[in-house]
């Protein structure tokens, strides 16, 4: 399933250019849920990050 929203800026993924968001996401965790646009609760650790959406659960990355 393709994301409906940009996970960095929260805007519709199909509208506009999100090249700057993609470059920034290479270095930082997501800020919005790509499925429902809710703001994520993000925790960054030395080993990676976790982001929690109240609707869709927890995502992790490094």
Q: How confident is the model at residue 3 (pLDDT cuts 50, 70, 90)?
A: low
Q: Using one digit for the tens of pLDDT, what is the confidence trace for 5-57?
A: 999 999 999 988 999 999 999 899 999 999 999 999 999 999 999 999 999 99
State the residue range of the domain holding 7.
1-62
Question: Residue 60: how many CA atoms within 13 Å on its side-chain side?
Answer: 4
What residues contact 28, with CB distance under 8 A and at least 6 apart?
A: 8
What's the pTM value of the predicted model, to 2 decimals?
A: 0.86
pLDDT computed for residue 42 by the predictor: 97
- Give the total number of structural domains in the chain: 1
pLDDT computed for residue 48 by the predictor: 95
Q: Write out the two tokens for 39.
A: 């703001």
**pLDDT higher than threshold 80 for residue 2:** no
């Amino acid at each position: 399933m393709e994301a409906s929203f940009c996970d960095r800026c929260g805007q519709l993924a199909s509208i506009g250019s999100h090249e700057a968001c993609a470059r920034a996401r290479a270095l930082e965790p997501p800020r919005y849920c790509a499925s429902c646009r809710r703001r994520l609760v993000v925790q960054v650790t030395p080993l990676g990050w976790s982001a929690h959406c109240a609707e869709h659960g927890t995502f992790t990355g490094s």
